[in-house]
Amino acid sequence: LGTAFSIVFIRKTFCGKKSGKVNKMACPQKFVLYSKLYITTLLASALLGMTTGLLVYYWPQDPQFAHCSKSLDLGGIVGNLIIGDVNIARNIHLTLYNPNHRDMNVKETLGAIEYKGEQFGTFLVPELTAESRTLMDGVMDVDFTLLEDESLLQMARDYSENDLTLTVRMDIDYKVKGFGGSEAKWVKTIESSDFEETESSDEKDKSSYSRFCKCHGS
């Protein structure tokens, strides 16, 4: 309907009366020219709008990770490190969410666990493919190394005061199907107070570290 009104407007503008008479010579050429120009502009605008909408809809978004471990024996970790034992059987439970409308491939990623900027634990996230808008869980073994003596003593003091803070960090290389590769960083802070025994399971489920965890068994 809008197009029809526009064509009528163009016809009246360029084929109107001039000195009481219709300008028959100028009308056909101008009308055809400006009609084509209008239709071309209309189609180009519609195509641009559709292309922009599709790009916004499918444009790659970073993968989202969540730390889902409901129990983490920080006391055991600190105690073992204090006596120089790094053969600690611990794992970390992470969930990956692919927010994209296309499948995503995530390359093998080495994660790090740090205390005050000093790395003392690593874990390996294997290469994987996450389907669009789905969750994937993984439980990774953690390999520990010793900190400097001063850092170990400070870690023990922080734990005894329920004020121990660790940082989990990953640099992620990923590729969304149909697009080029991208990089993302994920940093998560873990505090000893997150794992207090007095905290109810309902409160844990609502806490930030488990906001979209698929499995809750670890």
Handedness of CA 98, 101, 102, 103 (dihedral sign): positive
Residues 42-91 pLDDT 10s? 788 888 888 777 776 778 999 999 888 777 788 899 999 999 999 998 99
For the packed helices 74-82 and 149-160, what is the interaxial angle rounded to 10 degrees? 150
Measure the CA–CA gap between 21 and 24, rounded to whole angstroms.
9
State mean pLDDT over 17-35.
Answer: 56
Assign 218 a pLDDT band (cuts: 50, 70, 90). Answer: very low
Assign 153 a pLDDT band (cuts: 50, 70, 90). Answer: very high
Dihedral in degrees, nearest 10, Cα atoms 215, 73, 195, 147? -110
Per-residue CA distances from 117 to 53, 114, 169, 178 (Å) = 42, 6, 10, 37
When comparing pLDDT for 117 and 40, which is higher?
117
Tell me the whole-structure pTM to 2 decimals.
0.70
State mean pLDDT over 115-135.
Answer: 95
Is the pLDDT at 217 greater than 70, yes or no? no
